[in-house]
Amino acid sequence: MSTALSSLPNEIRLSQSSSATPAAQVLGEGCGVNQSLPGLSIVIPALNEEESIESTVRRCLNARQHVQRRGGIGEIEIIVVNDGSTDRTSEIAQHIADVEPAVSVINFAHNRGYGAALKEGFRQSRGEFVSFLDADGTCDPRYFADMCSAMHNQDAAVVLGSRMGPGNKMPAIRRLGNTLYAILLGFLSGRAVTDTASGMRVIRRDALSALYPLPDGLNFTPAMSARALLSDLRIVEVPMSYAERVGESKLHVMRDGVRFLVAIVNALLLYRPSRIFGVLAGLCIFVALLWGMYPLEFYGRNWRLEEWMIYRVLLCAFLGTCSFVFTGAAALSEQMLALFYPGRRRTFAGQLTEAFFSPRVLSVFAIAAAIGSVALVWPGLIDYLSTGHTTLHWSRAIVAASLLQLAVLAIVLVVLQQVVGLWREQIEFSSRTAESSDA
């Protein structure tokens, strides 16, 4: 075994026929491949797919010339990653690799997960474009031609094969789940994708660093989609057919559905946490206005509130405080993100929020809120100090307490923004020091 192979971990082995010439050489000489065109690596993760693995690999082999001709592709390699299968998947794949130089097999001693298999396949691949498709026979590898063509023509970083078109044989429950995730991600990212969990896609190798880290499980694909959309990488979809799978599905709708949702939320927290905080703030304000509309209207007509309205006022005060906290967190998270992604595109809403939640504005607001709080309860304080009791109406006390809470929160936000500013200065100083040392 070669030095490169022997240096891999014990549970991973890249297997090829010992007498086979390298795939690049065979494809370059036998197929008249244009060496100046980008190469394509097709990774096929497989866990107990003995019924379909041979057919899937053969279809990839048969599609090579079509993909090369229509997709503007040079060399093509096919890497099967056996993810700890307990059936004949590895044996069947290795049999093909022994006679097909373009095919290689990576064997995991134990099951490590769909995403882990793909990442290892990407690591050991050579193509400028890396791609994958499921081993269950649901995807047609000839669509790689259209996907690679879109990669060239639209300068995309990621191209997805969308299975959501008419006539595709996706189970109804999975189609519903994909639609809901696409709507959620589109709403929060501002960019539309119809199939967030597509199991067939092409990625530029130099885009992988912007997409990593990615999870090891089946939530690999929605996590990649979310990161691509939220990190402003160009992502393109190509419609493709989708057939019924061969054998039993590894996807558990409820368990993996929750994991898909968590993957999307984690990507949002990494790239656009202000979107989540903004949605929560807007929701709090909407409910507060809806619930407090009648007490406000009643007070405007009668200059008083009924005793039973105390519950509505308490809820509205709580929601108002929550909205302030969420909006402040959105502004602060934007400043923290700027430390790690200084060149990232900032939205108008984000800039507006930062302007209204700047240290100067927050300081003025805190002083005004504190003064307003004292002014509301001042008559009651005078009564209490003079007589030992007060007749101050409960509504004044609730509003005063809410204003005082907001004043404290505003001061806390000012201090945290000062901390972020000190971090920024430290990072800039360290960068200048490193640059001067290198010079």
| Interval 178-195 mean pLDDT | 78
What backbone torsions phi and psi does residue 82 show, to the nearest 5 degrees?
Answer: -80, 110
> How far apart, in whole angstroms, are the C-alpha atoms of residue 322 and residue 309?
20
Stated pTM of the model: 0.69
| pLDDT at residue 42 greater than cutoff 90 | yes
Structure tokens, 176? 């519903």
Q: How confident is the model at residue 1 (pLDDT cuts 50, 70, 90)?
A: very low
Q: What pLDDT score was predicted for residue 191?
A: 77
Q: What pLDDT score was predicted for residue 253?
A: 57
Residues in the chain: 439
Structure tokens, 314? 């308490």
User: For the segment 281-335, what is each residue's pLDDT rounded down to a tens digit?
Assistant: 999 999 999 999 998 899 888 888 888 999 999 999 999 999 999 999 988 988 8
3-state secondary structure of 150: helix
Q: How confident is the model at residue 119 (pLDDT cuts 50, 70, 90)?
A: very high
- What whole-number percentage of the chain has pLDDT above 70? 85
| Dihedral of the alpha carbons of 124, 106, 76, 23, in degrees to the nearest 10 | 90
Q: What pLDDT score was predicted for residue 252?
A: 59
Q: What pLDDT score was predicted for residue 435?
A: 76
| Interval 134-149 mean pLDDT | 91
Most confident of 84-88, 269-273, 338-342, 382-386: 84-88
CA distances from 117 to 29, 135, 187, 202 (A): 30, 12, 31, 16
| Interval 26-33 mean pLDDT | 44
| pLDDT at residue 413 greater than cutoff 90 | yes
Q: Is there a contact between 326 and 284 (Cβ–Cβ < 8 Å)?
A: yes
User: For the segment 242-294, what is each residue's pLDDT rounded down to a tens digit?
Assistant: 776 555 655 555 666 777 778 778 877 777 888 889 889 999 999 999 999 99
CATH architecture designation of domain 3-270: Alpha-Beta Complex (3.90)
| Interval 196-202 mean pLDDT | 88
Q: How confident is the model at residue 70 (pLDDT cuts 50, 70, 90)?
A: very high
Structure tokens, 252? 């558990």
| pLDDT at residue 342 greater than cutoff 70 | no
| pLDDT at residue 129 greater than cutoff 90 | yes
Q: What pLDDT score was predicted for residue 32?
A: 56
Average pLDDT in the chain: 83
| Interval 389-403 mean pLDDT | 89
HEC string for the chain: CCHHHHCCCCCEEEECCCCCCCHHHHHHHHCCCCCCCCCEEEEEEECCCCCCHHHHHHHHHHCHHHHHHHHCCCCEEEEEEEECCCCCHHHHHHHHHHHCCCEEEEEECCCCCHHHHHHHHHHHCCCCEEEEECCCCCCCHHHHHHHHHHHHHCCCCEEEEECCCCCCCCCHHHHHHHHHHHHHHHHHHCCCCCCCCCCEEEEEHHHHHHHCCCCCCCCHHHHHHHHHHHCCCCEEEEECCCCCCCCCCCCCHHHHHHHHHHHHHHHHHHHCHHHHHHHHHHHHHHHHHHHHHHHHHHHHHHCCCCHHHHHHHHHHHHHHHHHHHHHHHHHHHHHHHHHHCCCCCCCHHHHHHHHHCCHHHHHHHHHHHHHHHHHHHHHHHHHHHHHCCCCCCHHHHHHHHHHHHHHHHHHHHHHHHHHHHHHHHHHHHHHHHHHHHHC
| pLDDT at residue 11 greater than cutoff 80 | no
Q: Which of 23-37, 181-195, 330-344 has the lowest average pLDDT?
A: 23-37
Q: Give me the residue spans of the domains in the chain.
A: 3-270, 273-438
